[in-house]
Amino acid sequence: YQEQYGGERGATFVGRLGDDTLALTRAWVSQPDGVDGVFDAGLATEIGAEATVGQPVDGLVLALHLLSARHGQLAFSFYDDPADGVAATVGPGRITQRWIVPPNTLATGEYRVAFELAVAYRRVIHYDAARGELAFRVDNIT
């Protein structure tokens, strides 16, 4: 992964992880304001992922794992959490998902985000904590 801090500060991954069926192409953690490289605990934080679907996928899994610096899992969320049952068939194209962590949810400290791509109950296409993972720090700034 690579960390890039720019206009909207945050950790960003740009690349291609997966296969011809499903691939993670971009992921980010961002806030509209704050100090370079550090997120404000008092502001909402956006975590996002973009994936390319190369062929129809029945039961698409695009999920995030929010982890503490010590690798403990704090949260897990699918892109289709509000839906009932297994995700419907998703055709070829691009999927963008954004998750919002509300203000004052994360305590001061270091965090990591790992992304998972899979076909439900059949196979994991990508879940490698060393590739495509993002890292960020939260402090009490305001």
Q: What percentage of the chain exceeds 70 in pLDDT?
A: 80
Closest CA to 2 of 32, 26, 33: 26
| Percent of the chain residues past pLDDT 90, beyond the cut | 37
Confidence of residue 5 (pLDDT cuts 50, 70, 90): very low
Evaluate if residue 19 carries a pLDDT over 90: yes
